[in-house]
A = this chain, B = another copy of it.
Amino acid sequence: MSSESSRKLTIYDLAKLANSSPSTVSAVLNGTWQRRRISRKLAKRILELAEREGYSTNMQARALRRDRSGILGMILPLYDNRYFSSIAQVFEAEARRRGIFTIVSCTNRDPAQEREAARMMLAYRVEHLICTGATDPDAIAEMCSAAGIASLNLDLPGTAAPSVISANREGARRLTDALLDRLEARRADAARVLFIGGRAEDHNTRERIEGFRQAREKRGLATAPTDIVTCDYAAEKAQAALEAYVDREGRLPAAMFVNSTISLEGIVRWLRLGGHDVNDIIMGCFDWDPLAAAFHPRLIMMRQDVPTMIARLFDWIDVPPEDPARRLEVMPEIVGDPM
């Protein structure tokens, strides 16, 4: 804490102050001093000195020499929903617990930004790159493998790197079951169930649609193409899509499978604006938001198990799977009173 003289303190300065050598100081500071047979006494003296002078290792120099940055990179579509923000937070927390530094960058579901962010992360020589919800995970996996850096996919799977994702199909089956149970309890027309939100070309949406279809099929219900509206995630798109659906059908759906909280926002807004009671429609959302739950306690939500997903991710950071196309599904949890 003393002598904030002018420039940053280096191991050379410390060596001079301690009447020792830079290599010794280095060994002491990075904990390899026993292996180098530095005496405990000298080590202690140097450590105290470093502490007193407020020394901090220059990570650039260390990274350069070690050829490892000690940084973990993650790219993320957005921060603005509970799922992704929780991914970022849990990821950071676990990394911090391990003393690893993280760099998180959001890329707005835009393939060009994803590539650009990946390029930057590779330039900073991150040790692993986690691609979360990437629109083109394989493109990034290839950039990484060309650079000799391991990459992992999260949330949306790829074929060129191992992937940890939610069990979308099974989760969707369960969510759909819950919706259908409620419809039966209410003796409503189980045909009028609408799946809304997401992208047809995105793996998770496809899986959820398949789960939706299977759950209905099991009860002898057919699913028509008009029952499924993959209008992208944005609130405005969901709003417009619901309006179009109601125009066409002439009435509201009896139940809805909403594919994200962001879509939910548009749907709730449209219902409000039209003077409808949100509670008249049985709603499930494949996502979780506590504020939505507070406002609408009858809303059924699938909460994706972020802590487990991140834990599996770190398992693979520790021990990379041999199969580069390895895929692991983590079961999400249904929240909100199912009946």
Identify the A interface with B (CB < 8 A). 1, 4, 7-8, 54, 56-61, 63-64, 69, 78-80, 82, 85-86, 88-89, 92, 96, 101-106, 113, 116-117, 119-120, 122-125, 146-148, 235, 261, 264-266, 268-269, 272, 278, 289-297
Contacts and interface: CB of A to CB of B under 8 A. Distances in A.
A123 B58 contact: yes
| Best-buried of A92, A264, A266 by chain B (most CB within 10 Å) | A92
Given A80-B82, A96-B117, A101-B120, 4 more contacts: A56-B119, A96-B116, A264-B294, A289-B291
A88 B84 CA distance: 13
Contact of A292 (B7, B89, B291): B291
| Best-buried of A60, A117, A278 by chain B (most CB within 10 Å) | A60
Given A54-B146, A291-B261, A292-B295, A123 B59 contact: yes
Given A58-B125, A64-B60, A146-B4, A272 B291 contact: no
7 closest A-B pairs (Cβ-Cβ)? A79-B85, A295-B295, A60-B63, A269-B294, A268-B294, A60-B64, A80-B85
Contacts of A102: 105
A90 to B, nearest CB: 10
A123 B56 contact: yes
B147 A57 contact: no
A153 B55 CA distance: 25
Contact of A60 (B1, B124, B268): B124
Contacts of A292: 291, 295
Contacts of A82: 80
Contact of A291 (B60, B106, B265): B265
Contacts of A266: 294
Given A4-B146, A120-B101, A124-B101, A79 B69 contact: no
B60 A69 contact: yes
A64 B125 CA distance: 14
Nearest to A121: B101
A54 B335 CA distance: 48
Contacts of A59: 60, 123-125
A148 B56 CA distance: 13
Contacts of A235: 290, 294
Contacts of A294: 235, 264-266, 268-269, 272
A62 to B, nearest CB: 8
A125 B60 contact: yes
A269 B293 CA distance: 8
Contact of A272 (B78, B113, B120, B297): B297
Given A86-B80, A294-B268, A56 B122 contact: yes
Contacts of A290: 235, 265
